[in-house]
Amino acid sequence: MNTKIYERELTALKKANRLRDRKTYSKNILDFASNDYLGFSENKKLFKKAYKKLISQDYYSPKASVLVNGYSSIHKEFEDNLAKINSFESAITVGSGFLANIAMIEGLLRRGDVLLIDSEYHASGNLATKLTQARVIYFNHNDIEHLRELLNQIKAKRIFIAIEGIYSMGGDLANREIFNIANEFEAILIVDEAHSSGVIGDNLLGIFDYYNIKPQSNHIKMGTLGKAYGSYGAYILASSEIITFLQNRAKPIIYSTALSLFDVALGNEALKQIVKKRDKLKDKITKRQNLARDILNIEIKGLILKIEIGDNRKVIKIQNELLKEKFLIGAIRQPTVQSAILRVILRASNSFKNTKKLLLMLR
């Protein structure tokens, strides 16, 4: 087998300081890098509640696709809660956020449709665009003028717009005007809330909640469980018709084993916790946002703090220096971002004191 091509590419990546590595970190490291925004991954109470729920069942693994007999009362309970709390007609759980983006974009778009997708949309959405026969056009990140200009030129059977609630790398919010534009052009709006659900909004439900937008039939919201929810997996919320359609056409739903029962039960506990502890959690989030503003003069809307560095070697150097002080932060490089950034997650479970210490070091 000729693997020279891999060798060459790996050498080039290394030279450009872009070689990715998977590492384990010591127990005493302070995690300011992961997407566990609310610290639920460390919450033993939630874990125990999910375990208790699961152990009372007759079986513990999903066994099959939701369309065979992989669908259980655990999935249904969570989906019903999600739909009710988020004010959507219907919900469906999916294996992961990555699969959810493939499900929505590959499953819903048809030849003759046009998808306008934000240039900073997640890699899973970008991959999904390669699987559709619809026309795909990227609009400049969060640029409503560009989006409008494109929409005015387009002739299509149907128009879809895909955005994120909070952008995963920049940490900025989707422009509210895009919701109005979607209505004006009768477009179906797909909103990836991987980084916004659980973090923003009066009820911590995400961008719809933040902007006080009542979900309508042209809205599709995707949320992940692997971030603020401290679990694994994802869900899609939409009209009953769209959810039924996805269940009949989306390959990641039809041809993949249903989401793990434990992860669903844990997601459900997280959702209940967000509802119950809303004010306390919001207070923790606001305090961290204020700290970023006071120390670094940076306004953040969620818990993602982006610091532009623009030099691959330098971001790694800063990351390593902070690691010596036990602080782990993200050093994000190409192709995830165009130019190197530090990505610092002000997780609610890190103490205020340590958060302050880190921000002072980053000043």
Ligand X SMILES: Cc1ncc(COP(=O)(O)O)c(C=O)c1O
- Chain residues in the site for ligand X (CB under 6 A): 96-98, 101, 122, 124, 164, 168, 192, 194-195, 224, 226, 234
DSSP letters along 130-199, please? TT-SSEEEEE-TT-HHHHHHHHHH---S-EEEEEESB-TTT-PBPPTHHHHHHHHTT-EEEEE-TTTTTT
Question: Is the CB of 97 or the CB of 302 nearer to ligand X?
Answer: 97
Nearest-approach distance from CB 149 to ligand X, in angstroms: 25
Contact between 147 and 181 under an 8 Å Cβ cutoff? The reply is: yes
Question: Is the CB of 34 or the CB of 183 nearer to ligand X?
Answer: 34
Nearest-approach distance from CB 74 to ligand X, in angstroms: 18
C-alpha Rg value of the chain to the nearest Å? 21
How far apart CA 135 and CA 159 sit, in angstroms, is 10
- Which tokens go with 218? 């042209």
Question: Is the CB of 291 or the CB of 342 nearer to ligand X?
Answer: 342
Nearest-approach distance from CB 294 to ligand X, in angstroms: 28
- Residue 280 burial (CB count, 10 A): 10
Nearest-approach distance from CB 303 to ligand X, in angstroms: 13
Question: Is the CB of 174 or the CB of 358 nearer to ligand X?
Answer: 174
Residue 286 phi/psi, 5-degree rounding, is: -60, -40
Tell me if residue 50 falls in helix, strand or coil. Answer: helix
Question: Is the CB of 128 or the CB of 359 nearer to ligand X?
Answer: 128
Question: Taking the alpha carbons of 257, 262, 265, 269 in that order, is the dihedral positive or negative?
Answer: negative
The H or E element containing residue 353 is helix 352-362
Nearest-approach distance from CB 186 to ligand X, in angstroms: 25
Question: Is the CB of 139 or the CB of 291 nearer to ligand X?
Answer: 139
Contact between 230 and 35 under an 8 Å Cβ cutoff? The reply is: no
Nearest-approach distance from CB 121 to ligand X, in angstroms: 8
* DSSP-derived secondary structure letter, 89: S
Nearest-approach distance from CB 230 to ligand X, in angstroms: 12
How far apart CA 305 and CA 348 sit, in angstroms, is 13
Q: Which residue is nearest to ligand X (CB)?
A: 97
Question: Is the CB of 65 or the CB of 183 nearer to ligand X?
Answer: 65
How far apart CA 41 and CA 356 sit, in angstroms, is 22
Nearest-approach distance from CB 165 to ligand X, in angstroms: 9
Question: Is the CB of 215 or the CB of 330 nearer to ligand X?
Answer: 330
How far is CA 266 from each of CA 40, 205, 226, 229, 256, rounded to the nearest angstrom?
Answer: 10, 17, 11, 8, 20
